[in-house]
Amino acid sequence: MKPVKAVKTEMKELPQEVMVEIFLRLPVKSLLRFKCVCKHWLSLISDPNFAKHHFQRSSLNLTHKILYTLHFVAWSWDFNAPFVDHSALSRIQLPLAFVPANINWMRMVGSCRGFLLVALNDNILLNDLIIWNPSTGSCKRVPQPPTWDNKFAFLCGFGYDVSTDDYIIVQVSYKNWEAYLDDEVIIFETFSVKSNSWKIVDVHGLNCTYINLRNDDVDTPRVGSFLNGYIHWLAWCKDGERANQGAIIAFDLNENKNGLRLHEVPLPDDFIHEYSDLGVFGGWLGLIEMNAPDQLNIRVMKEYGVKSSWVNLITVSLLNIPSDFISPMFMFLCKDGEVVGVYDGVGFVKYSDRGGELLEPPNNPHGRSRFYSTASVYTETLLSLPSNHGDQG
């Protein structure tokens, strides 16, 4: 007798449009895991249009993590989770396929919509760049900018232009070291992922009176802060009536608007440019300032462009941190308002948003390891880079 195949008393599978609605409500981590369920799910989850839809739908509720590297091993940390939660830390594979065999140095120089811009091997030339989505693992090597070999980059930035659905890298350089000393014309270059090419931007109206802040820090390009379609840097007016005064300059990533591509965003009147840093906190442009030897203050501009809207967010005391360094390497804002600091050799600390007191004692899951080489906040997305014509990768 022919064996009768057992039939599952199974109702039919849920229709695709329902599955997609369920997928849209899942976090990126679950979706990446569920790629393994079956090939149909793989194609649904890997669809770039689905990724865009998922990103837009989650935009108020994105998962933020910190990616840091320690001796060339990358870790992703869910800093909104309590420190005791061991699953909050995951090792992330560095995109070895794209990284040359002997990298001796790497630094995160931008973060936007789930992508990190990573600079390899050289800090001044910024010739070796990779755009990387640590959640999906996909990455792209950026072709070298076609400018001078001895170029000295002092500003860099990474952002997204809504009008063209394109990711843009910006570098601002002096032609060479002598040009910097002689204060010659600076070069603004942008890279567009869609066109896969660099071009020099004529920043008309900019009198090149801005330079990198902190002259003693000239071997480290200042990383820009992307917000509202602009890349922002702290700069210093070199000459004119505002010589030696600080300024925030904003570069418009949209090249098709009329008007100047570079404008200033007002700093608070009591701004002192020693020991200060620009960042983005909770969707606002913010300043981290060391306003006393043991104190760090974060304040934010609650209304973009409005000088009077600078308000204090949090002041933290550095007294209780047994660190060899005077200040944390990096600071990030949690979604509940607390602030997380990363201290070299000590690990992570969390400060309360009310009084700035230490909420969680220093936690270092790596023992007394020194030298977190680089850290950055990123969001988990499934997004992929727009491809340019003819680019199949």
Query: Where along the sequence are the contacts to another protein (CB under 8 A)?
Result: 8, 10-15, 17-18, 21-22, 25-27, 29-30, 32-39, 41-42, 76, 86-87, 90-93, 136-137
- Residue 137 or 143: which CB sits closer to another protein? 137
CB 90 to another protein: min, Å: 4
Tokens of 347: 């690990």
CB 118 to another protein: min, Å: 17
CB 133 to another protein: min, Å: 12
Find tokens 């950055």 and name the residue.
376
CB 130 to another protein: min, Å: 17
Gyration radius from the chain CA atoms: 23
Tokens of 36: 């393994």
Antiparallel, parallel or unpaired: β 129-132 and 139-142: antiparallel
Residue-level length of the chain: 393
CB 249 to another protein: min, Å: 37
- Residue 90 or 197: which CB sits closer to another protein? 90
CB 348 to another protein: min, Å: 18
Q: In angstroms, rounded to a whole number, what is the distance separating the alpha carbons of residues 5 and 245? A: 82
- Residue 23 or 251: which CB sits closer to another protein? 23
- Residue 97 or 101: which CB sits closer to another protein? 97
Buried b (16+ CB within 10 A) or exposed e, 43-76: ebbeeeebbeebbeebeeebbbbbbbbbeeebbb
Output the DSSP codes for 215-252: GGGTTSPEEPEEETTEEEEEEEE-SGGGTT-EEEEEEE
CB 32 to another protein: min, Å: 4
CB 45 to another protein: min, Å: 10
Tokens of 95: 């995109």
Tokens of 16: 């695709």
- Residue 42 or 292: which CB sits closer to another protein? 42
- Residue 48 or 305: which CB sits closer to another protein? 48
- Count CB neighbours of 226 within 10 A: 22
CB 189 to another protein: min, Å: 34
For residue 158, what are the β-bridge partners? 169
- Residue 94 or 130: which CB sits closer to another protein? 94
- Residue 32 or 62: which CB sits closer to another protein? 32
How far from chain centre, in Å, is Cα 178? 31
Q: In angstroms, rounded to a whole number, what is the distance separating the alpha carbons of residues 167 and 252? A: 13
Tokens of 119: 């600079």
Q: In angstroms, rounded to a whole number, what is the distance separating the alpha carbons of residues 20 and 18? A: 5
Q: In angstroms, rounded to a whole number, what is the distance separating the alpha carbons of residues 335 and 88? A: 15
- Residue 80 or 173: which CB sits closer to another protein? 80
**Cβ-based neighbours of 359, under 8 Å, separated by 6 or more:** 338, 350, 351, 352
- Residue 77 or 281: which CB sits closer to another protein? 77
CB 188 to another protein: min, Å: 37
Q: In angstroms, rounded to a whole number, what is the distance separating the alpha carbons of residues 147 and 4? A: 73
Q: In angstroms, rounded to a whole number, what is the distance separating the alpha carbons of residues 292 and 177? A: 34
- Count CB neighbours of 336 within 10 A: 8
